Amino acid sequence: MRIVLDTNVLISGIFFGGPPSEILRFWRQSEIKIILSSPILSEYQRVAEKLSAKYPSVDIEPIIRLFAIFGEFVDTKGISETICEDQDDNKFIECAIASQCKLIISGDKHLLSISGYKGIVVLKPRKFVDAYLKG
């Protein structure tokens, strides 16, 4: 199964546990693939650096490196979507379109509000875990 993972889910999975950390555990066990684009990885790195400064006891950099190595990368050049109210979220839609991935996992209200666009479903982490990873 292939998914696009919003930054908020990644960070929640690293810091807080719950469904986001279950998603990361399934990824580490190679049971799901996380699809990335360069803009998404850049955002992961930017947020990780910001949080590392705030929480120096947590080293996020090794996890970001794992995404860079084991994430499935797609080129989103030539794809320009402006569907999201928050323009920063368009990169997740563009990645899903470029990779023909039909699932984005996010808790972001702007992404959740466009679920169904071009056949792409946006699910909250709990709903994704319950629907796809349990049982």
Residue 28 lies in a domain: yes
Output the pTM of the full model. 0.92
Residue 135 lies in a domain: no
Domain that holds residue 24: 2-130
- What's the rounded Cα separation, in Å, for the pair 120 and 99? 11
Residue 114 lies in a domain: yes
CATH of the domain at 24: 3.40.50.1010
- In tens, the pLDDT along 86-123 reads 889 999 999 999 999 999 999 999 999 999 999 999 99
Give me the sign of the Cα torsion angle 50, 52, 56, 58. positive
Residue 73 lies in a domain: yes
Residue 87 lies in a domain: yes
Q: Tell me the residue type at 33.
A: K
pLDDT tens string, the chain, 135 residues long: the values are: 999 999 999 988 988 889 999 999 999 999 999 999 999 999 998 988 888 788 888 778 788 888 888 889 999 998 988 888 888 999 999 999 999 999 999 999 999 999 999 999 999 999 999 999 986
Q: How many domains does the chain have?
A: 1
Strand ranges (DSSP E) for the chain? 2-5, 33-36, 72-73, 103-105, 121-123
